[in-house]
Amino acid sequence: MKKQLAMLLVTALIGLSANADHHEKSWRGVDLNAQFGIQFEVCSLLPGKSLADIAKLDKQVSKLFSDNEMALSLMRLVPMFSHSMPGQPSASFLNVVMGDIKAFGTGWDSWLASKPAQQLMQDVNKIASCKFKFARGINRTANLEGLSATDNRIISMNWCSKRDGIDWNQLKAKHDAWQAAYSEDSASLAWNVIIPRLGAGTANGRFMHMVSYGNVTQLMANEDWIANGGGGAALMDYYAAYADCDGESVYSAQYIHKNGD
């Protein structure tokens, strides 16, 4: 039962409180016991442009992060299993920046004051159209040993709203129970709550759970539990009683810049 609950943590909706484990825990400059900043750059490639074109700028991006002493990490996410159906548009890629909330303030100020950074943004605008979104992240679980062992990431995202008749305390209690049952041998490497803030648009008042895996094998281990291990029934019960969710989108990810490296 404990293992099943641990697997459920990977896929079911996450709660809206900070990690209950308040031992000192940090990851690449992020205090995992405090809410941290996460910025999404939602980008669509312009006609005739490709991911290879944007990748040519990556070394320059990382250098400018270092030159401007931005205590932030940057990953690029490319859709793997997306919500887009044939004939429907979707984002070509996401750039995701993570770090201490205050580091976003000093980082953006340094970036905006840097002529090379402004030129870089103009170069990016010739390749892709991007919209910036700032959110708060709350870490629920993190396997720091697993995160340190590999930079490979498969990331799932699921936007949700609480059900009518369920208050936030009830939702939190449900998620707290799952977190308490979390096992270190779970398939996931990290599980975070994302709360939209700036540029939220229609996502205002909603929240997202973001789960990181080290590879597709870990992702599919969780899918197998849902299909054949009783997880499907648990999820359906949760979605019917507690939360209305859009369903998971999955991205492959790579680091462009790692804070501290």
How confident is the model over 82-111, as pLDDT tens digits? 876 555 568 899 999 999 999 999 999 999
Contact assessment for residue 17 and residue 176, using Cβ atoms and an 8 Å cutoff? yes
pLDDT of residue 113: 95
pLDDT of residue 179: 78
Name, in order, each residue with C-beta under 8 angstroms of 123's C-beta and a sequence gap of 6 or more.
57
Q: What pLDDT, in 10s, does the model give residues 61-87?
A: 999 999 999 999 999 999 999 876 555
Q: What is the C-alpha separation between 67 and 120, in angstroms, rounded?
A: 13
Position 130, amino acid: C
pLDDT of residue 185: 61
Q: How distant, in Å, are the alpha carbons of 11, 25, 48, 144, 250 from that of 190?
A: 12, 13, 36, 8, 14
> Which pair of tokens denotes residue 3?
């293992």
CA 232 to chain centroid, in Å, comes to 23
Q: What is the C-alpha separation between 167 and 242, in angstroms, rounded?
A: 9
pLDDT of residue 261: 63
As averages over each run of 10 residues, the pLDDT of the chain (261 residues) reads 36 38 68 91 95 96 94 94 68 94 95 95 96 92 85 92 90 80 73 89 84 94 86 82 90 92 63
pLDDT of residue 93: 94
Q: Which helix (H) or strand (E) holds 177?
A: helix 168-180
Domains of the chain: 2-257 (3.30.70.100)
In a 13 Å sphere around the CA of 161, the CA atoms on its Cβ side amount to 10
pLDDT of residue 141: 84
pLDDT of residue 184: 63
